[in-house]
């Protein structure tokens, strides 16, 4: 968080250091870079993440996004409660995240139409659990732990309260929310939160393999799938089946190219149109 006397430019510079952005082919990798604080979220870091997702969504060269954390201890430990405690002691008001002028960072991630893979390299708890939840696919390392301790902290877990029962069976979701107990990676996979558990140090490699495979598919089709799946959630089937989100792949140049490549037994050359 910013300290007295800091300029906005200095604060933005710190946020940039706290989020490392790199491109690997058509995959953009975002790394939370605060390992000394369990990659905990600050308002500045959350703003930087949201901005990075908006930019990735607008970049035609980016076809998939991977989110991970620095180090091997934590993917993300949630909101920086030490910093918040200092702010409370200083009498600074708490600004509820959903009440800010900008969209909530987890909403931005969830609504980004490009597939997002979480490479969970360590603990994903509280806001870190919600960060992983906002992603589409989740690869977790075997030593990682997961949980929502908000009920023990007097916090809210608003995003998880709404979205977790849509991602995993309701009884498991409410168990995590109500009892605030941590679970290990094997349990997280068994209840459907994780797509796959890998050895320690292998989450990013596996997530990159998945994201690269996704990026090799027709971008218009993948975009359509992501947008439709997101916006169909909660709708009656009759309404969901009539959604027409994004560019229609059946009418695209890539549909012609995909069929031609199959018939000619060669890799397709996607144009994204």
Instruction: List, by residue number, the catalytic residues.
Output: 150
Query: Cα dist. 108→33, 177, 184, 214 in Å?
Result: 20, 22, 27, 20
**DSSP tag of 98:** G
**CA–CA gap between residue 273 and residue 267 (Å, rounded):** 17
Q: How far apart are CA 212 and CA 223, in angstroms?
A: 15
Contact, 106 vs 67, CB < 8 A?
Answer: no
CA–CA separation, 159 and 176 (whole Å): 13
Q: Maximum CA pair distance of the chain?
A: 68
Q: Do residues 139 and 116 lie in contact, with contact meaning Cβ atoms separated by under 8 Å?
A: no
| Helix boundaries (H) for the chain | 8-18, 43-58, 81-89, 105-111, 127-134, 150-153, 158-167, 170-179, 185-190, 203-215, 219-232, 237-240, 253-264
Query: Taking Cα atoms as reference points, which of 102, 30, 104, 13 lies closest to residue 67?
Result: 30
Per DSSP, what are the bridge partners of residue 157?
A: none
Residue 161: how many CB atoms within 10 A of its CB? 15
């Amino acid at each position: 968080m910013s300290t007295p006397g800091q300029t906005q430019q200095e604060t933005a510079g710190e946020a940039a250091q706290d989020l490392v952005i790199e491109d690997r082919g058509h995959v953009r990798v975002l790394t939370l870079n605060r390992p000394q604080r369990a990659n905990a979220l600050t308002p500045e870091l959350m703003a930087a993440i949201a901005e990075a997702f908006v930019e990735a969504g607008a970049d035609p060269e980016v076809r998939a996004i991977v989110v991970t954390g620095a180090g091997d201890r934590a993917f993300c430990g949630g909101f920086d409660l030490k910093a918040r405690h200092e702010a409370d002691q200083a009498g600074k008001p708490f600004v509820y995240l959903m009440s800010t002028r900008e969209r909530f960072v987890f909403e931005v991630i969830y609504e980004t139409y490009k597939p997002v893979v979480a490479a969970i390299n360590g603990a994903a708890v509280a806001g870190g659990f919600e960060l992983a939840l906002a992603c589409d696919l989740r690869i977790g390392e075997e030593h990682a732990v997961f949980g929502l301790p908000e009920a023990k902290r007097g916090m809210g877990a608003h995003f998880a309260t709404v979205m977790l029962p849509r991602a995993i069976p309701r009884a498991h979701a409410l168990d995590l929310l109500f009892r605030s107990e941590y679970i290990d990676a094997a349990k997280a996979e068994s209840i459907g939160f994780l797509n796959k558990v890998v050895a320690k140090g292998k989450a990013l490699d596996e997530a990159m393999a998945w994201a690269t495979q996704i990026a090799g598919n027709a971008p218009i089709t993948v975009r359509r799938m992501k947008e439709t799946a997101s916006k169909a959630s909660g709708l009656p089937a009759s309404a969901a089946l009539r959604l027409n989100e994004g560019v229609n792949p059946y009418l695209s140049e890539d549909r012609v190219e995909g069929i031609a490549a199959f018939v000619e037994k060669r890799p397709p050359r996607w144009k994204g149109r």
